[in-house]
Structure formats: C-alpha cells, structure tokens
Amino acid sequence: MIFSIVIPAYNEEGSVADILRRSLAAAQKIKGAGLGVSEVEVLLVNDGSSDKTEAIAREFKDAAVISHPRNRGYGAAIKTGFSRARGDLLGFLDADGTCDPDFFVPLIELCLRENLDVAVGSRLHSGARMPLVRVIGNRLFRALVNAVGSSSATDVASGMRVLRKSSLPRLNPLPDGLDFTPAMSVRALLDPRLRLKEIPMPYEERVGESKLSVVQDGLRFLRIILETSMTYRPRFFFGLAALAFAALGLWGLAASWGGPASPLLYYLRNGRLENWMIFRCVFVSWCLSSAAFLAAFGWTTQSLVRAVNEEDFRPRSGVFVALAAASLALGLFLSRRMLASYLSSGTIPTNYWIFIVAGTLFALISIEFLAFAVLERVAFLLRERTRRSP
C-alpha cells in the first residue's frame, strides 16, 4: 500500500525546510509501523509563492515539488497534490509547522482499523496552542455542523487528515480556498455513505505570519458550511424557517399590540373582529401560509436530495394529500357563515371579512400541499426508474 503526503505551501520559506525534513523522517516511521504501508511519497505543492519556498523545497531530492505559476488557493494546491499522488491513502498537512508529520501514524492506524473514509487530527483540546479567536470561531463552526448533522465532530477545519483515494469522488466538489477543509468535513459528516472520525493531535504555533483572515475567511467558512449542509439537510434549514414564520404568525394572532386586545382574544370574547384588525390578520395569514410552504418545501427538497444521492426514502405524498384535504375542509368550515349569507341573500356582510381571509389562507395551504405531494411522488418515481435502468 502506498501513502502519499501532500503539503500545500504559499510563502512558507521560514518553515518549508523543517516540514519537509520532518515529513521525510516520518515516512520511514510510517513504513516501519506495521500498518501495511510499503511506500510513502512526499509531494510539496508550491502555490505560486513569491519568496524562496520553491527554491528551498527543491533542495530535498526525496520530495516531489509541484508548482503553480500563480497563487490558486489552499484547496487548489491540495487537489493538485491529490491528482499527482499515487497513494491508496492520501494525507495532507499544513506547511507552517503547526502539525507534526509523525501523527500520520495514528491517523493511518485509525483510518484502517475503523474502515474510515476520512481520519482527522483534532486541534481543539486543552494542549493545543491555537489563538483564542480561532478557537472561538472553530467552536462556533463545530456547533453549527453538529446541529445540522447530529454528529459529534470537534474540529471541522483541521488541516491534517488521512483519507482514502477511493472516497474522493464522494467528497467532491471541494473549494479551492481555505474553506477546503470545512467543506470536506461537512460532506463526510452528512453523507451517509462516508465515515469520518477524529483523534486529538499535537498542534503548535505557526512559523511566520498566518494567511488566514479571521473575519473574511470566517465568513467564507460559514458560507461553505451552510451551502454544503443545504445540499444534504435542506429540511433542517427550511424547517427552522417554517418554525420562525409560524411563531411570528401566532405571536401576531395572540399579541395585543396596536389595540385593546389580541385578535384571538377579542374574537373569543365577542365572536367577531373589528375592521381595524384586518391588517393584523392579513399579516398573520401571510406568516402561516409561508410557514406551511417552507415546511412542505423543506420536506420535499429532502426527498429530492435523497433521490439524487440514490438513498432509500419513503414518499410522504399521502400525508401531503391528507393535509391538503384537512386544510381545505378547515377553510370551508371557517367560511361557512360567509357562504351561508351569500347563498341566502346574495350579499356578504362587511364584518365577515375575517372569514374571507381565513378561508383564502387554508385554501392556499391546501394547494401548496397538493403541489408538493405531486413533486415528491415524481422524485420517488424518478429514483425508481433510475435504479431499474441498465
């Protein structure tokens, strides 16, 4: 088995010699660790450095040096290394001296023992020497990823990992920038066909100035985490949005701002609503309709994601049809006095406007549920047709 170590480097003249020396020494330890690794190759990818990084790296004849003519990004450098690597297992670590190449031994052992796709060295522990602001940021990213994926990851942006080359197609596409590692973590944690585990690793202060911008790259990390999560767990995000709209609608219905009583309490006491409440009720209607739409949209989109990823899922179109029927029945029930008045006299009293609003609300929700029932059924049938295709 061949193990490839990829080292992305951009203007790291102060640390590149040390990291290459330590990586080449670690190669001998990896081969002698009884892991079944017969060959270790070290590839340094010079990502368009403007200092002496490339010249220093080329002094190490046992390491392959690949150069980008211009700076393309941290993730792009790693992907270039992967494309040139011959290893069955791929490892990468930063060139800034923060990671210990010897730690590839326990990472490889973990990957093989647990049959993992990705093994990660976690920096977030009491012995790691990471700046406080980055600790806080990484903990926030970790909390977000774990909330979406129901996982227990501790370090979603670690720059030292071992992965199987055969798993790359499932992990792709990955970005070219510093958000490469959080994107990989999110994909590995959310894809049910991939397995990721971590172990704590030693982590030191970097040599030289960090390329990471806390604000700019932090926002980029947040964006890639949210975007990647949306491709696997859209129901989580749209479900949260639906809950927010539902809460806002119920608050508008029950709160007493703008008048002596809330619309709900006033109606329960008097059996009618005043005309000044019409705008409040339209607002509540909009919120509840949006909540129903987002909930159904999130559920259906989740089915589409599972169909694309060729996962098993049971269509809930029957549930949507039942909810549509119930919503339509409720709309008709709430509109009964208005309909009775119109059928008997041909007119609708002006104080019956609330029944028009309520009836329209539940009629719209009924149509929304029916549309999503059809869409989810189509997703299921397309998935089944794809499975049966030769």
Amino acid residing at 92: F
Q: Assign 205 a pLDDT band (cuts: 50, 70, 90).
A: low
The pLDDT confidence band at residue 129, using thresholds 50, 70 and 90, is: low
Q: Give the span between the Cα atoms of 256 and 175, in whole angstroms.
A: 50
What pLDDT, on a 0 to 100 scale, did the predictor assign at position 133? 64
More confident: 225 or 53: 53
Q: What is the pTM of this model?
A: 0.74
Helices (H), the chain: 16-31, 53-57, 74-84, 104-113, 132-149, 168-171, 180-190, 214-230, 234-254, 263-270, 278-308, 317-334, 336-345, 353-388
Asked if omega into 173 is within 30° of 0 (cis), the reply is: yes
Whether the per-residue pLDDT at 220 is higher than 90: the answer is no
Which of helix, strand or coil describes residue 3?
A: strand
pLDDT class of 213 with cuts at 50, 70, 90: low
Higher pLDDT, 359 or 72: 72
Q: What is the pLDDT of residue 358?
A: 83
Burial class (CB in 10 A: 0-12, 13-18, 19+), 269: exposed
Q: How far apart are the first and last CA of the chain?
A: 34
**2-230: CATH superfamily:** Spore Coat Polysaccharide Biosynthesis Protein SpsA; Chain A (3.90.550.10)
Q: What is the mean pLDDT of residues 287-303?
A: 90
**Is residue 130 very low, low, confident or very high in pLDDT (cuts 50, 70, 90)?**
low
Lowest mean pLDDT among 97-106, 133-142, 289-298, 317-326: 133-142
Phi, psi for residue 368 in degrees, rounded to 5? -60, -50
Q: Is residue 121 predicted with pLDDT exceeding 90?
A: yes
> Is the pLDDT at 264 greater than 80, yes or no?
no
Q: What is the mean pLDDT of residues 363-372?
A: 89
- Mean pLDDT for 21-29 is 97
310 pLDDT band (50/70/90 cuts)?
Answer: low
